[in-house]
């Protein structure tokens, strides 16, 4: 069962359409949400989008403020288990409303997702500086 090298892991991650974003609160409680994203080298960018939410004080943003160590996971499931793989990006997250970073995130997300072109994310940008790409493939 082969381990993926960092370049293959990054390539597979960047091609995925959705990731699971894991954060941990200051008191150690895990929090996991699906996210759309873009990859720029060893940086993953996201933004708080316009989808309906109860409020803008999101748990993931509070968790990053408490503990910036995060993980993102993408995977491929198939009933043919020879096709299975997963990739994890571990790193340090930051939340910003700086115009240049938010504009960069909007542009990168808009290039990947029609919805983000039509309705650009309104909230802050989240950047993750990836310190470790890891993964596994069945074949």
Tell me the pTM.
0.94
pLDDT at 57: 76
pLDDT at 53: 54
Angstrom distances, CA of residue 127 to CA of 41, 71, 81, 94: 12, 12, 33, 5
Per-residue pLDDT of the chain in tens (139 residues, 90 and over written 9): 589 999 999 999 999 999 999 999 999 999 999 999 999 999 999 999 865 555 567 999 999 999 999 999 999 999 999 999 999 999 999 999 999 999 999 999 999 999 999 999 988 999 999 999 999 999 8
Q: What are phi and psi of 101, to 5 degrees?
A: -70, -40
Residue found under tokens 């996210």 = 35
Decide: 105 and 45 in contact? Cβ < 8 Å: yes
- In the chain, helix, strand, coil percent, each to 5? 30, 40, 30
Q: Would you mind telling me the total number of residues written for the chain in this entry?
A: 139
Q: Where are the domains of the chain?
A: 6-137
pLDDT at 52: 53
Q: Which CATH number fits domain 6-137: 2.30.110.10, 2.60.120.10, 3.30.540.10, 3.30.460.10?
A: 2.30.110.10
Alpha helix (H) ranges present in the chain?
6-15, 59-66, 99-112, 114-118
Decide: 82 and 135 in contact? Cβ < 8 Å: no
pLDDT at 54: 59
Decide: 103 and 53 in contact? Cβ < 8 Å: no
Q: Give first-to-last CA distance, the chain, whole Å.
A: 6
């Amino acid at each position: 069962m082969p381990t993926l090298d960092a370049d293959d892991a990054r390539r597979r991650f960047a091609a995925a359409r959705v990731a699971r974003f894991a954060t941990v609160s200051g008191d150690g409680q895990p929090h996991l949400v699906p996210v759309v994203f873009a990859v720029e080298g060893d940086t993953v960018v996201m933004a708080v989008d316009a989808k309906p939410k109860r409020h803008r004080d999101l748990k993931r943003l509070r968790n990053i403020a408490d503990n910036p160590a995060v993980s993102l996971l993408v995977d491929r499931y198939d009933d043919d288990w020879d096709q299975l793989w997963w990739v994890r990006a571990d790193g340090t997250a930051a939340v910003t409303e700086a115009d240049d970073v938010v504009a960069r995130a909007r542009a990168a997300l808009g290039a990947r997702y029609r919805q983000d072109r039509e309705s650009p994310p309104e909230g802050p940008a989240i950047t993750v500086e990836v310190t470790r790409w890891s993964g596994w493939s069945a074949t």
